[in-house]
Each structure stands twice: as C-alpha cells, then as structure tokens.
Amino acid sequence: MWTSRFRQQCLSADVHVHDNERCYICSNPVEFDRTSWCIVVAAPTCPYRRRIDKEMEGPSSRGSMPGYGLLAVVVIVSLLAGSGADAQLWPEFYATSCPKLQGVVRSVMAQAVRRDPRMGASILRLFFHDCFVNGCDASVLLDDTPTMAGEKNSGGNANSLLGYEVIDAIKARVEATCRSTVSCADILALAARDAVNLLGGPAWTVPLGRRDARWASMAAANANLPPASAGIDDLVARFAAKGLSLRDLTALSGAHTVGAAKCSKFRRHVYNDSNVDPAFAMFRRRICPAAGGDARLAPLDSTSPNRFDVSYYRDLMARRGLLHSDQELFNNGPADELVRLYGANGNAFDRDFAAAMVKMGGISPLTGGAGEIRINCRKSN
C-alpha cells in the first residue's frame, strides 16, 4: 500500500474521493484502493511509476481478493489503464454500504441458470446490449412510457432480449438488504460475470460504482447495436467507436459459445453465403425454411450450446458459424489469427474475454451525481 509520503507526492495528480477516502489517480492513471490489496495501473508516462512498483514489492496480498484469483488481478491491472471512465469505478465500491451484494447476485443467478442454462446467455446479452447503447447505464432495462420509446422494442431487442425478470429478482433481494444503494447497472454487470462463470467460463473482478440512466432511446439502440448481417469492417468500426479493439471484438464474440439465434437472423447466411460448410447449411435449413418460421431457434454453438468454452471458434474455423457476423471473424480477414489462437488455447480466450468484459463495462458509465439509483429497474424513480 502507498505510504503517506508517497500519497503526498501524488497530491498534484487528480484525486478521486469515495466514502471520504482518497484514491489518488496519477498520470493516466494510477489508482489506489483503500482495501487490503492495491490496483496499480501505472502508465509508462507516470512520474511515480518506479516508486509505485517499489512500494508494491514485498509480500503481496493479491490472494485476498475474494474468489477470483490471479486472472482477476491481471484483468483489473491491465484494463484500468485503458479508460478514464474506469478510474471512477472500483471493485470495493459497496464494501461498506452493501457488503453482501455479490453473494446475493450470485445466489439468484445460480438458481436462474440451474433452471435454464440459456438464461446465462440471455443475461450476458443484456449486458452487451446495455453497454453498446449510451454506455453501461441500465437503460436497456427501462420500459417504454407515453413520452419515451426505449430500447426494449428496438430492432435488435424486440421479442429477443430475455432475462429482465432475473434482474428484477436480484434487485428485489438487493433492495431488501441495502435499500436505495446499488444501481441496476452494477447488478447487470455482476450478473453477466456470474452468468459466464456458472456456465464454465472465467470469472473476473467487476469495477463498480455505475449509476442508472433516467431515460432510454430506441433510436440510439437501432443506431448502435451491430446487426447479424454486419461485415468485418462494420464490426471493427462499431467496436472501435466504443473504444474496443479487434482483439476485444473477437474475444467478446466468443459469448456466442452459448445461447441461440432466431431463423430470421441466420436465414440469409445459410441460404446465400458462400463461406458456409454445405452440410452445416443444409442442416440449419431444416430448422429454418426459406420462408416462414422466423422465430425458430438454433444454437449459436451446436457443439456445446450450454457450456462456455472455445468450440465457437472451432466452429468458425470449420465454416460452421451460425450468423453472417460470426463467420466474418474467420473469412480471410484481420481476425483470423485470433480465432485460431482462441480455438487452440482456452486460457488465452478466458484471459482476453475477461479483460474485454471489464473494458466494455467501462463504456461511458454514469458516476458521481449523474443519473440515479433506481428502486425498480424497469422505471426511473
């Protein structure tokens, strides 16, 4: 932990205050966490980097991070350096105000995934669709009102997004424990992490402190969510606009190792595209006729649809991606080598997926006095 002398030296840097404790953000940034472990994310330009590194030498308390081990440390260390927004979020935000929060979220998610493993994929998709539209602010959870056309009925979400009732159940349990304290946005971020882990995927430490939007926009959802028909250049541009790299895009697309898609989303791919394995296309056409049957479902990963693993990437290499946008990741393009890497190395995928989830979770959060803490996730207070 930093000494008083070192803290004094950083007074010229930006200072973030939470619960009357000062967390010093030093040169893009270095963040100090007041708990028993430190998040040190010193950019090369930080004038205090050597002193910080020296301060962190000696006995490490990283093992005291609850439940998630070295991967969580590496993810936080690497990701907080990349986003100014993340400097306003930190894992121990509710350590005193709602210490049972993560246990409550995990318990409800475990019940939901046990009842229906597909719910894990649904919650993960909710989080993605939230963050990609005006940032991770739980706007996707807001119902329409007479004066607001929200995100739920946008082209990419209508009759498609599921899991709202699970977030409602978590929120009700959290409110019973810590009233008016925890945002719906943070609940969704934690639920998405637990969804992945409960399906056999990695875990990571989730930076917290988001607040909830008071409004939602159907137009913004229609403009920002990548369609299933998107090509690789479009995907790269859409992710870059959110501060996400090609590596992030390729890793986050691995979320399609679980879940399902409607016939209307993959019909054109299996009937018209040339980069599809013929036997796979024929098999999917049995589920999805050339006309009609739009709501029929097929698993995004036919090998292990309820297991968070790397079979999605192996399917892409075999030309068995269900969506056009999926197969675009392995189509003699810039993501081919990453697909090969993840298909062969599950540890690399776990690491990069967790890192990308933290990075995505830092897209334009509402913090401080912005937004609100909703009592009901479906409507503003």
| Interatomic CA distance for residues 377 and 342, integer angstroms | 36
Helix/strand/coil for 203: coil
Q: In whole angstroms, how far apart are CA 256 and each of 260, 261, 299, 312, 313?
A: 8, 9, 9, 7, 9
Question: Under a CB-based contact definition with an 8 Å cutoff, are residues 349 and 338 in contact?
Answer: no
DSSP alpha helices (H): ranges in 88-152?
101-115, 118-131
Q: Write the secondary structure of 137-200 as one string of H (helix), E (strand) and C (coil).
A: CCHHHCCCECCECCCCCCCCCCCCCCCHHHHHHHHHHHHHHCCCCCCHHHHHHHHHHHHHHHCC
Q: In whole angstroms, how far apart are CA 182 and each of 47, 97, 110, 378?
A: 36, 9, 20, 15
Rg (alpha carbons) of the chain, rounded to whole number: 21
Beta-bridged to residue 261, according to DSSP, are 298
How many residues are present in the chain? Answer: 381
**What's the longest Cα–Cα distance across the chain?**
72
Residues designated as active site:
129
Calculate helix-pair angle for 184-198, 118-131, nearest 10 degrees: 140
Question: Which tokens sit at 238?
Answer: 């859409």
Helix/strand/coil for 68: coil
Cα–Cα nearest to 333, from 266, 238, 236, 241: 236
